[in-house]
Amino acid sequence: MASREAKKAAAREQRIAAEQAAADRKARRAKARLIGGGALVALVLVAIAAGLALNKTSRADDAVERNATLSRDNLPGLQETTPPWPPEYTKLADRIAQLKLPLSGDESYHFHVLVSVYIDGKREEVPQDIGIEPGASTMSPIHTHDAKGVVHIEASEKFPFRLGDVFGVWGVPLTSTTIGGYQASGGESVYVYVNGKRMSQNSSYKLKDRDNVVVGYGTATSFPHEPPSGELDSI
């Protein structure tokens, strides 16, 4: 009897040991999966972070490149002449591409600014159909529908549109020292005022909804710095 009980006890101990060993193996496998999963998550997070950093760097590089482009007057098809300045279409698509402008899409991002231009005290026309090539497929997200100076900015996504983009699409050079065929010299300079405040950077100013923008060439007192903006109220 004692022998049978001893055998039962030994068998029970072996069963318990086997069950414990199986449980230990299961725990080790679960831990390995957890560690592996954690490593995978970590790798994914690292990849996402790297992608975000790269995207952020790319956006920063684009911004630097755009500012550099806007600070020069080397876009194709620019009119280095005296006014009037009609909309320039022959190189419109090339300028849109070089300025890295987004597509004019479903108007998810849509706002308006008023632009007035004065040369030696005389107000010059901001013509209709800037950025809209008649009878063709090229249309800029920056455009005009009439000659009242109201600039429509319509894109499928938010984008840092600059004042230089407006003049680039129009086909008129604008830098800190240049507008059209005029160069700063003597007592005459190129000035930009927004809502009555002078801007230190002309072409790289980032436009905001309902800005009242004045670009003037001549002396600082030869043109109004904040003309009436009632045209914006009619939109």
pLDDT at 232 over 90: yes
Q: Please, what is the average pLDDT of the chain?
A: 82
Question: Quick one: tokens of 176?
Answer: 């800190």
Domain ranges of the chain: 92-233
pLDDT category of residue 26 using cuts at 50, 70 and 90? low
Phi, psi of 175 (to 5 degrees): -135, -170
- For 49, 59, 65, 139, the CA distances from 62, given in Å and listed in that order, are 20, 5, 5, 22
Three state DSSP letters for 159-217: CCCEHHHHHHHHCCCECCCEECCEECECCEEEEEEECCEECCCCCCCECCCCCEEEEEE
Region 129-151: mean pLDDT is 93
Measure the CA–CA gap between 152 and 86, rounded to whole angstroms.
17
Question: Quick one: tokens of 38?
Answer: 């954690």
Q: Can you give the pLDDT at residue 107?
A: 76
pLDDT category of residue 8 using cuts at 50, 70 and 90? very low
Measure the CA–CA gap between 155 and 192, rounded to whole angstroms.
25
pLDDT category of residue 104 using cuts at 50, 70 and 90? confident
* pLDDT tens column, 106-120: 778 999 999 999 999
92-233 CATH pick, 2.70.98.60, 1.10.300.10, 3.40.50.300, 2.170.130.30: 2.170.130.30
CB atoms within 10 A of CB 232: 17
Task: Supply the pTM of this predicted model.
Answer: 0.73
Phi, psi of 132 (to 5 degrees): -120, 100
